[in-house]
């Protein structure tokens, strides 16, 4: 369950951590479609921010820590403080360094998935939603122009089979 996942990340507690993207989108859109069977996310995105160690080994160490706690989960832990070092190589575009995990969430590909949470010690949720929650709860898929081109948006729409999985989603192309 999502609480099991959040408790596992809280236990490992990487600096300035947030869990979001597909995990939250799937949870909300499945619920709004009335699905009984949850749509499993491809992986669990854990964004954290550690400017003290920008090495790829830092991502691997957090991933290993999470895997030790919950081995059956496909963890994708990424130090957002280091994204600018590899982004151009992967996506062909130079980006400035980020300043926090929350700032990173604001650059994710679609506004509905620019949503993340942290489970606080009292089990309440700290929610980060730089574009608000309307698109997520109204099932609107809209490109976040911060880093994603229209072509990349269309490719993601196809690759993730958004329309097939959630037919009530309204895609705003622009």
Burial of 111 (0-12, 13-18, 19+ CB in 10 A): buried
Sorted by sequence, the CB contacts under 8 Å of residue 141 that are 6+ apart come out as 110, 112, 135, 157, 162, 169, 170, 171, 172
pLDDT at residue 28, rounded to an integer: 96
Q: Name the pTM for this structure.
A: 0.90
CB 171 within 8 A of CB 143: no
d(C-alpha 35, C-alpha 22), whole Å? 16
Q: Which residues of the chain have pLDDT under 50?
A: none
pLDDT at residue 31, rounded to an integer: 96
Local structure of residue 81 (DSSP, 8 states): G
């Amino acid at each position: 369950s999502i609480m099991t996942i959040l408790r596992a990340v809280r236990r490992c507690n990487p600096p300035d951590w947030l869990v979001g993207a597909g995990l939250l989108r799937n949870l909300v859109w499945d619920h709004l479609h009335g699905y009984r069977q949850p749509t499993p996310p491809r992986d669990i995105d854990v964004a954290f921010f550690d400017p003290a160690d920008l090495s790829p080994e830092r991502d691997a160490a957090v991933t290993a820590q999470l895997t030790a706690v919950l081995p059956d989960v496909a963890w994708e832990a990424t130090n957002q403080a280091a994204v600018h070092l590899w982004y151009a190589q992967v996506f062909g575009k130079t980006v400035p360094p980020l300043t926090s995990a929350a700032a990173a969430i604001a650059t994710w590909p679609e506004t509905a998935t620019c949503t993340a949470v942290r489970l606080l010690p009292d089990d309440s949720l700290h929610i980060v939603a730089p574009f608000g929650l309307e698109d997520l709860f109204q099932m609107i898929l809209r490109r976040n122009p911060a880093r994603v081109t229209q072509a990349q948006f269309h490719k993601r729409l196809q690759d993730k089979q958004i329309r097939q999985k959630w037919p009530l989603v309204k895609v705003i192309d622009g």
